[in-house]
Chain A
């Protein structure tokens, strides 16, 4: 399988605060990579670097062989290849569900309105929200908003989708519906990078687990079940222990 996303020697700092040091990662097409780690370890910042929302102080990120450089003019072209779903959904509050979905495809990719609407309705139907197409975001629950946000990202036909703690702001009973949607995407062969605190979900969906701590990849493995049963490093052990009560 071909390499879709490649990160070499990524270095990111905010002033004197080094957030990511020498990160190397290569993601193949169709792979689902789950990034876990304690809060403040740099997971979200890492995702934000990947589509140029953060500038980087060293290293190279390429998507499809093209370098990601924040602030460059053609970053908008690259971002179309990289979908992103945020923790706080970030739907556009002044637009309906359908308008949220078709805005970028029609304005950025210059697809016809009919074409975009047709696909949007199909995808909304898949996530069970086609009857909400004319609702405004404020009329939806958190879980519904997040599923719309996923559909909105999918409509751009991204080659890889970044999920930044997409269930962290949701009530427990809504977490499930969003995770189901993501598992369906993974099964359909989407390339995904997921930052999450849902360990059972990570276990179920991941082809590869990356454990990040203090801006460093501490453990990386494709033996997902083994990782959760018996992590190799002490830091990962300690981290996983915080999710159990005994």
Chain B
């Protein structure tokens, strides 16, 4: 904790605020819960804080684990092709996001395909088996997708062309409860994104 002159007054203020809010007797208000109305997504709904800049510099790409800022790709402007890289799905060890040696060929194949196309982009899905808790697995799935992204960036694919999404343990390919099923579910899937016709500025 910061030991400066502000600390204790701040603590007292915090304590006073929490006392004030918990000490009040609230009049019991009838709970009227309206059905959840979906607010149509508009750009004004999302905070407009820009993402931190992508780390530049050839000697840090691919080696700066965990610090390549995410890409701003609008999936509505792309067609998703799951078949293109279906054979290149990368599998992981339990509770790990380390890319195994035997998976390097898959990464290389995806990188080569992307580097030979100007307009195509990539979506990486990260998945886990059921043996982690939900939020833990949501983070692990994201870390797996991020690791694959970093590997592709290390092979020359621009970071801005790769989007990641984690599904935690929500979308297993095999709903069995055996190690055979679990090992299929610990995976990163590559989905080719091809620009939709007529979408400007893609």
Question: Do they bind each other?
Answer: no
